[in-house]
Amino acid sequence: MFADSPKILEGYVRRKREPELHAWWARYLESIGELEGAMGFYSAAKDNLSLVRIKCTQGKLEEAANLAIESKDKAACYHVARIFEAEGDYSKAVDFYTKAHAYNSAIRLVKEHDMRDLLANLCLMAGGSEIVEAARYFEDIPGYTHQAVMLYHKRAAEFFANNQNYEKAVELLCLAKGVSKIFGFLFSSPKVILRL
């Protein structure tokens, strides 16, 4: 019935206002090369990944990046990160992999391109075995031993917290962040605690 008349079908899709239908029609429009129309329907369907993907194919990477950031869509951020990586903009790629919570991809890039200052924070966000792997990485680099020690303390604290040994976990967290001096000051001066 509608197959012979795309305009009637488009009118039907517009009237229905169903996201799945809008996304379906957008894919159809994209397949026949009507990108502007497709973007309108992807927008109505709130399909941010597809919007970002089309903007990237049009060479509008900054617009795509802004849309990915505004929408907080992890898949869209990941797509933008892959484009930045392919273009050799590794700093932005790491940023977008982080926004996408694709920490392993961000860590891989940081290691490959000697962005050591970012590695510890990324590993802390990733947690688990990534922390130990980064600590081993830092062990072999002169001047970064303190990072290795801090990461080992963090991982050990995670272990103790997961096994409900909270005292030991707090102790190791204090060592990892150097907060022990702050706690010592707070406990030696009750007036400070009262003010807090």
User: Mean pLDDT over residues 109-128, rounded?
Assistant: 86
Total residue count of the chain as it appears in this document? 196
- Give me the pLDDT at residue 143, please: 86
Cβ atoms of 49 and 25 within 8 Å: the answer is no
Percent of the chain scored above 90 by pLDDT?
A: 38
Q: Does residue 159 contact residue 171 with C-beta atoms inside 8 Å?
A: no
Per-residue DSSP letter, 187: H
What 26-32 contacts at long range (C-beta under 8 Å, 24+ apart), as own/partner pairs, is: 26/50, 30/54
The residue with greater pLDDT, 66 or 155, is 66
What is the average pLDDT score of the chain? Answer: 82
Predicted confidence at residue 133, as pLDDT, reads: 86
> What is the per-residue pLDDT for 186?
42
Segment 112-121 shows an average pLDDT of 87
**pLDDT value for 194:** 40
Per-residue confidence band for 129, with pLDDT thresholds at 50, 70 and 90 = confident
Band (pLDDT 50/70/90 cuts) for residue 66 is: very high
**What pLDDT score was predicted for residue 62?**
96
| pLDDT number for residue 167 | 75
Average pLDDT in the 41-50 region? 92
Q: Does the structure show a pLDDT above 80 at 61?
A: yes
| pLDDT at residue number 107 | 93
Exposed/middle/buried for 117, CB within 10 Å: 0-12, 13-18, 19+? exposed
pLDDT at position 11: 77
**Does residue 190 carry a pLDDT above 60?**
no
Q: What is the mean pLDDT of residues 11-31?
A: 84
